Structure 1
């Protein structure tokens, strides 16, 4: 396999960003794209110089022309498409959230293990050089014991009730789409939380439009996180430790710079000059894993995805946000969660 051949399912915004950055990856060939609309598939293929355009997702999945498929469709379809790819023996990079709940993710990982197919959640931020630098600083004890993580992901989303972010039928809401990033950062550094509290605002279309989460660990670490589809914010992240703090510049989830400030106020700044937005780094990771015949990335493991979605499940259960077709909030879990319910309709 000298050039790993990639296919993309979906031609929306995230697919475009991914395709634009693909040329900056160290290797791999963007060979095919699939959309349910012929015009979209053809235009996308023409724009990004992709040889094959399919008008049906499954024709791409079963094509012999691709080795790995990037799934860039809305959340609700991730489970079925990833499952079809695994059954067809195709490696998968599936956009986050990997699926809409933990049960679905668990099922896919079990299937991938059985069929021996590589799958990874497209948590692109994990592979950003700034995040790699931050992990290194924290692990080397540069800020001493890490005490707190503060991170936001806020932006003004379209208010159209039919838009996927506002539409319950499409798995809408702030938490799964953007809240997943701050939770990812906190769990990357501290592991799965022992305590989860939240305040959420449910918008007019019955999806969460704004929430603040407080995560706690038995070790005494705390994370204060925010996600919003209705407000602007610099979207910086701050990691505070016993000897100093790290500030990841805005927007932290795709940053090109970060700073380490010690308790005496001395600053060390690091800047990375990479082309594009940084989607190429997850492509490099998948290619490397495929070359090494791994089933999962050691840097964003199946376990990491499961721990991430488990936290989001717990928050959704608490705010009563359920998606169509989901089992009724995992009845067996309910007695374990005696949360106070704070959610506000407006």
Structure 2
């Protein structure tokens, strides 16, 4: 078994969490890091004992010392960097959202297929043992017929207008950064929704600060979801069925415990004792797929990723929220701008 050599592009908060959890992976080594800031590249490589540090993303992408690249930059750079990795023949794990919109994502997955390169969106929550357990319970009918999902992801973000979350130029806002998780959870169990409604609060910097999303499916399931950068919440998730419910403990997207409560109120709780936050599981999945010669993960496929971003596109279009560097075909941009003027959303 070949020990895969990983490189990381970006040295922000998520890159730190990822590198820190990398010490718990089953195989693979962290070989290189790239940041456009030399001090932060050097600091990062020293902290995590990484041999190579680059001050230019493309030097890492073209390095012969790296097999797989994890992209941890702000959203707006995902498309260009993933594209460069594919063209350089490097496997990619790109932070979510994979790109800003479905149009960009589809282009990259088509390119990956054409060049025979493994690519995966870093939906790390999918590989968390708690989520695996909940999937198993639902598939085995432990709570009867699953009919509804409630999930939130709220936290207090920095209010500095230049911070990536508040900056429209960087693809800021709650939906793509954290709203993607509750939508992912709903689609993991129910597939792409047939009906979408949402209410959003748009802030002074024109990004979404807070939204509540209601998703519906033809066969009678509902999901009630919330994402907020301006309020606190226990961040639990509840899946309700005809014979009981499952509660994923806080914070559900990186939970270490969950419980099933039956209709007669008997409770069965499970706790998982894994180290770190759980980023190691997506690395194990990428390594496994590469060892098996797969181009995509059967557990989180290109189709799953495309259906997720398609739903987010629709929600964002309803909000009238468009990013200046989305690289959409010109006619779609005009449609979105017209739409923006018809729908006044609340200003915060």
Per-residue deviation, residues 210-232 of structure 1 (Å, max 9, x unmatched): 00000000010000000000000
Q: Does 1:67 align with 2:43?
A: no
Contact kept, 8 Å, 2:6 with 2:67, in 1: the verdict is: yes
What corresponds to 1:161 in structure 2? Answer: 161
Given that 1:199 and 1:342 are in contact with CA atoms closer than 8 Å, whether structure 2 keeps it comes out as no
In structure 1, the partner of 2:202 is 202
Shift of 1:2: 1.9
Moved over 6 A (4+): 331-334
Q: Which residue of 2 aligns with 1:30?
A: 30
1:330 CA displacement: 2.5
- Find out whether 1:264 has 2:268 as its counterpart: no
Is structure 2 residue 7 aligned with structure 1 residue 7?
yes
Q: For residue 345 of structure 1, what is the aligned residue in structure 2?
A: 347
1:23 alignment partner, SS class:
helix
Gaps of at least 5 residues in structure 1 are none
- Where does the alignment leave 5 or more consecutive residues of structure 2 unmatched? none
User: TM-score scaled to structure 2, two decimals?
Assistant: 0.96
RMSD: 1.4
Residue by residue over 1:52-83, the C-alpha shift from the partner in whole angstroms, topping out at 9 and shown as x without a partner, is: 00110000000000100000000000000000
TM-score by length of 1: 0.97
Measure, in 2, the Cα distance between the counterparts of 1:329 and 1:190. 32
Q: Distance in 1 between matches of 2:209 and 2:218?
A: 30
- Secondary structure of 2:157's aligned partner: coil
C-alpha separation between the residues in 1 aligned to 2:217 and 2:335? Answer: 20
8 Å CA contact retained: 2:74, 2:170? yes
- How far apart are 1:254 and its partner, in Å? 0.2
> How far did 1:145 drift?
0.7
Matching of residue 273 in structure 1 with residue 270 in structure 2: no
Summarize deviations over 1:106-158 as a string: whole Å, max 9, x none: 00000000000000000000000000000000000001111100000000000
Match of 1:77 in 2: 77
Partner Cα distance (1:206, 1:304) in 2: 29
Match of 2:332 in 1: 330
- What per-residue deviation string (whole Å, max 9, x for no partner) do you get for residues 133-184 of structure 1? 0000000000111110000000000000000000000000000000000000
Relative to 1, partners in 2 of residues 1:329 and 1:30: Cα closer, same or farther, differing over 3 Å?
A: farther
Equivalent-residue separation in structure 2 for 1:152 and 1:45 (angstroms): 34
Asked if structure 1 preserves the Cα contact closer than 8 Å seen for 2:76 and 2:325, the reply is no
Q: Which residue of 2 aligns with 1:237?
A: 237
CA distance in 2, matches of 1:95, 1:203: 25
